[in-house]
Chain A
Amino acid sequence: MDVFQNLLMGFSIALTAQNLLLAFIGSLLGTLIGVLPGIGPAAGAAMLIPLTFQMGPTGAIILLTSLFYGTQYGGTITSVLMNVPGEAASAITCLDGYAMAKQGRAGVALSIAAVGSFIGGTFATIALVFAAGPLTRWALEFGPVEFFALIVLGISMLTGLAGKSMIKALMMGVFGLALAMIGIDPIRGSPRFTFDRVELMDGIGFVPVIMGLFGLAEILENAEKPFAQMVLARMSTLIPTRGDIRDSVGPILRGSVIGTTLGLVPGITNSASSFLAYIAEKKSSKTPERFGTGMVAGVAGPETANNAHANGALIPLFTLGIPASPTIAVIMGAFMMHGIIPGPLLFKEHTAVAWGVIASFYVGNVILLILNLPLIGIWVQILKIPYGVLCGIIMAFMVLGAYSVGNSTFDVAVMTLFGVVGYLLKKFDFPLAPIVLTLILGPLMERSLRQSLEISQGSFGIFLSSPIAVVLLSLAALFLIVPAFMFFRRRKGVLPGDGEAVA
C-alpha cells in the first residue's frame, strides 16, 4: 500500500540520528516550557524559530512539533503537584490530579497522564495518516453557524461541572461569561468594561486568572492551617494499580476521540478539549459525585484529550494549510520559511518532508513517554520539600509565570486578585471550574454568533438552516432540560432538611 510505503520512508527519515536528537531536544524543552506557567507553547516555539534557520526543513519542523506536544505533557506536572496549571489545557487536571497528590498518588496521576498523552497523540497521528481526507472535509463543514452551535453545546455541559449545588455552578458560569465580556468587542471594536486601561483591551488574561483561582487560592487556604498539618501525604507508589488501569481505559479512549475531533476545528483551543473531556467523564461516570476527590478518570480523560487535540490540530495544517491555533501558526511559519507551503499540494510536492514529519510524530510520542516515565520519580521529589518552603517557591513561580505571559506586571496583579477571589469563593463553597469553562468558551460563542448573524444579515433562521447546528443545539437543549427536570422532580419529593441532597 502506498500509505505504508510512504510511512516507511518517513520513518527512515525520522529515525536518523540527527532527527531523533532534535525530537528528543524538542520534547525535553517542551516539557520544561510546559512546567513553567505562563510561557506557552507558542512563545516557546517562536523563540526557537531563529535557531531553525540553519536546519533543513524536516529537522526544523520536527524540533518545533515535538516541543509543541512536549508542552502539553509538561503542563500536567505542576497541575498535579502544585495545583498550578503550567498550561491552560491542564487547568482541569488540577481538580482530580492535585487531589490524588494529596493522597500520595501523584506518581500514579502522572504515569496515567503520560500513558494517556501517548495514546491520545498516537491516535490522532493515525487519524492523520489514514483519514486526513475525510476528516478535513468534515472540519470544513464547521463555519461560524456550526461553530456557534458546538460552543453552545459545550456551555450547556456546564451542568456537568456542578458540585453540590446546581445554582452555585450556574452563578459561577455567568460570572465567567461576564469576565469574558471585558475587552474590545470582537466585531465593531469598541472597548467594553476596560476603564480606559489599555491592558484590559484584550480582555482579562486567561492564564493569570486560572493560576490565581487554582494555585494562589489553594495556598491561601492552606495558610489557615497550623503549620504541622500543611504536609502533603508521602508518596506511596508510582505504579498504577490494576484498578487504576481499568478505570483509565474508557477515559483514554473517549479522550482520544474528543481531542482529535475538536482539534480538527480551527479556533477551538485545546483547553476546551480537555474541559469537555473532563465533563464527558463526569457525565458518564457511575459516581460523578466523587469527581474532584482524586478520580483517575478525571486525569486520564482531559490529559489524553489535550495531546490528541495537539496532534489532531496538525491535520488541517497538513491538508489545508490552516493553522488551527497560535502554536500551529508558528509551525506553519517554519514550513514557509523553508519554502514549503502546507496545504493541498504538500504531500505531492514535498513527499519526503511531509512523511518524515508525520513519522516523527510517532517517534516523538514514544520519546515523550520514555522521557517522562522515569522523570516522574524526580518530579515527585518536589513534594518532599516542606510545604512552608514549597508554597513560597510556588508563589515566586506563579508571579514569574503571570509576568511572562505578556511581559506585564498587570497580569501579576490580575493573578493576585483572582487568588483572593478564588479563596473567597472556595470558602463559600462555589465551584471554580464553571468560571474557567465559560471564560474559555464565552468569547468563542460571542464571535461565532455575531459572524453568523452578519452572514444572514441579522436573521436567526440561519441556525436552523444547517443540519449539524440543529443536531448540536438540540443536544444542548437536552443537556439543559434533563437536569432541570430532575431538579424539580426531586425537589417535590424530598423532605425539608434534605437541602444538601437537593441543591
Chain B
Amino acid sequence: MVKHRFSAWGRVMVGIGGLLIVSVLFSAVWAADYPQKGKTIQMLVGNAAGGPTDLGARIMAAGLEKELGVPVVVVNKPGANGQIQLTQVATSKPDGYLFGTVNFPVTITGYLDPTRKTTYNRKSFEPLAMHVNDPNIFAVLAKSPYKTLKDLVDAAKAKPKTITVSSGMRNDEQIGIVQLQKMTGAEFAQVSFTQGTAPSVVALLGGKIEVHCGHAADVLGHVRSGDVRVLGVMDDEESPFLPGVKTFEAQGYKIYSASSRGYLMPAGTPKEILSTLSGAMKKVMATGEHKKKMAEMGLSIRYMDPSQLGKFWDESETMVKELEPLLK
C-alpha cells in the first residue's frame, strides 16, 4: 500500500479548494434562495420622479413585486444625467438587493467623457435586462416643404448649417443627427434642447425650429391631428405608434438610434441572481397589463437577457467611440 502524503503546499491547496467548493455551494444555495422573503429590493432610478424613465421603471417595479413576492422600492437618485445613481450602484454590495437603471447611449457618453470624471465604466456593472427601446424620429410641421427624408437631406446639403434641428447633449438625438451628417455630408444647425423634449416640440409647433428630433410619444397627438409629419424612424422596423411612417433604413439611410432603457447591477453580482431577476423581468414584460400600460405611454418594450444586453452595450460603446470626435 502506498501511503499518500500531502506536502504542506498540497494541504494548503486542498484547503483552499475545499473553501472554494463550500463557498460556491453556499452562494448557490444563497442565490437559489433569492430573493429571500421579508427582504426588500431597491430599484434606483437615475431620473427625477415622473419622467418617462421613472414611469416605465415604476410600472416594472409594480410587476416585479407580484412576480417575486417581495417589495420592490423605487428610490429616485436624479442628477448629472444618471451619474449620481450609477456611482451609487457601482459602489453598492453585489448581493442582488439593489439594482439601477441604465440609459443608452447617455450612460456610455457619460463615462467616455473625461471631463465628467466618472468613477465607473463598463466593467463596474453587470447588465441585467433591457426594457424599453424608444427609437428616434425626425418630425416636421405638416406645412413644411420637406416631404421625405431625402428632401430634407438635399436641402441641408444645398444650404449647410441653416436647417435647424433640435438636438440634445451627447444623447441619442445628437448621435442620430451626427450619424446622418457623417453618412450624407449634410450639415444641420443643431439647437440644443437639454431639458426634455417638451420645449423643442413647442419650438417646432411655433415654427421656431424646422425639425424636431425626438421620440414617437412627443408628437403622437399632433401626428393624429394632422399638424405634424414624421419623416422617418431610426430603427430596423416601423413604429407601432406611427403606422405608415418608413424607417430611415427603408429610405436608404442605414441609421439606428434610440434611447434604450434597461437595468443593471453592481459588478460581481452572482450569475444566478442576475438570471433570476432578469427572468422575472421577462415574465413581467410578457403580461398583458404591462404591455398595455407601456403601449399607452407610447413606449415599445424590447427584452434582452444579461448576455444579449452585454453584447448590445459593447457594440454601442464601439459606435460611440467612433462618433466621439463629432459630438463636440
**Which residues of chain A have a CB within 8 Å of any CB of chain B?**
42-43, 45-47, 49-50, 53, 139-145, 184, 186-191, 196, 198-199, 201-202, 266-267, 316, 320-324, 326-327, 329-330, 333, 336-339, 341-346, 406-408, 447, 450-451, 454-455, 457
**A198 CA / B235 CA spacing, docked (Å):** 33
Q: Is there contact, CB below 8 Å, between A202 and B80?
A: yes
**A329 CA / B50 CA spacing, docked (Å):** 7
Q: Chain B: which residue is nearest A320 at the CB level?
A: B205
B280 on the interface (CB 8 Å rule)?
Answer: no
Q: Is the interface of B mostly helix, strand, loop or mixed?
A: mixed
CB-defined contacts of B113 to chain A, threshold 8 Å: 189
CB-defined contacts of B222 to chain A, threshold 8 Å: 320-321, 343-344
CB-defined contacts of A141 to chain B, threshold 8 Å: 206
Q: Is there contact, CB below 8 Å, between A144 and B208?
A: yes
Q: Is there contact, CB below 8 Å, between B50 and A327?
A: yes
CB-defined contacts of B225 to chain A, threshold 8 Å: 343-345
**Which residues of chain B have a CB within 8 Å of any CB of chain A?**
48-52, 54-55, 58, 62, 75-81, 83-84, 87, 113, 115-117, 161-162, 164, 169-170, 189-196, 198-199, 201-203, 205-209, 217, 220-222, 224-225, 227, 293, 296-298, 328
Give 7 A-B pairs besides A320-B222, A447-B195 with Cβ atoms closer than 8 angstroms: A42-B50, A140-B207, A196-B117, A343-B221, A343-B225, A447-B194, A451-B192
CB-defined contacts of A329 to chain B, threshold 8 Å: 50-51, 196, 198
Q: Is there contact, CB below 8 Å, between B49 and A47?
A: yes
Q: Chain A: which residue is nearest B166 at the CB level?
A: A451
Q: Chain B: which residue is nearest A200 at the CB level?
A: B80
CB-defined contacts of B87 to chain A, threshold 8 Å: 198
Nearest-neighbour CB distance to chain A for B291, whole angstroms, equals: 13
Whether A187 touches B192, Cβ cut-off 8 Å, given contacts A42-B50, A50-B62, is yes
CB-defined contacts of B227 to chain A, threshold 8 Å: 344
Q: Is there contact, CB below 8 Å, between A320 and B209?
A: no
* Contact of B62 (CB < 8 Å), options: A47, A53, A455: A53
30 contacts between A and B (CB under 8 A): A43-B48, A43-B76, A45-B49, A46-B50, A46-B54, A49-B55, A50-B58, A143-B206, A144-B191, A187-B194, A188-B169, A188-B192, A189-B113, A198-B79, A199-B79, A199-B84, A202-B78, A202-B79, A266-B198, A320-B201, A320-B205, A322-B198, A337-B296, A341-B298, A345-B221, A346-B221, A451-B193, A454-B189, A454-B191, A455-B208
**A459 CA / B13 CA spacing, docked (Å):** 74
Q: Is there contact, CB below 8 Å, between B202 and A320?
A: yes
**A316 CA / B80 CA spacing, docked (Å):** 28
CB-defined contacts of A266 to chain B, threshold 8 Å: 198-199, 202
Nearest-neighbour CB distance to chain B for A46, whole angstroms, equals: 3
**A320 CA / B221 CA spacing, docked (Å):** 8
**A143 CA / B207 CA spacing, docked (Å):** 8
Nearest-neighbour CB distance to chain B for A401, whole angstroms, equals: 16
**A364 CA / B238 CA spacing, docked (Å):** 43
**A346 CA / B225 CA spacing, docked (Å):** 10
Q: Chain A: which residue is nearest B218 at the CB level?
A: A321
CB-defined contacts of B84 to chain A, threshold 8 Å: 198-199, 201, 406, 408
Q: Chain A: which residue is nearest B201 at the CB level?
A: A322
CB-defined contacts of B55 to chain A, threshold 8 Å: 46, 49, 333, 337
Q: Is there contact, CB below 8 Å, between B293 and A45?
A: no
**A197 CA / B23 CA spacing, docked (Å):** 38
CB-defined contacts of B207 to chain A, threshold 8 Å: 140, 143
Q: Is there contact, CB below 8 Å, between A333 and B203?
A: no
Q: Chain B: which residue is nearest A454 at the CB level?
A: B191
Q: Is there contact, CB below 8 Å, between B76 and A201?
A: no
Nearest-neighbour CB distance to chain A for B202, whole angstroms, equals: 5
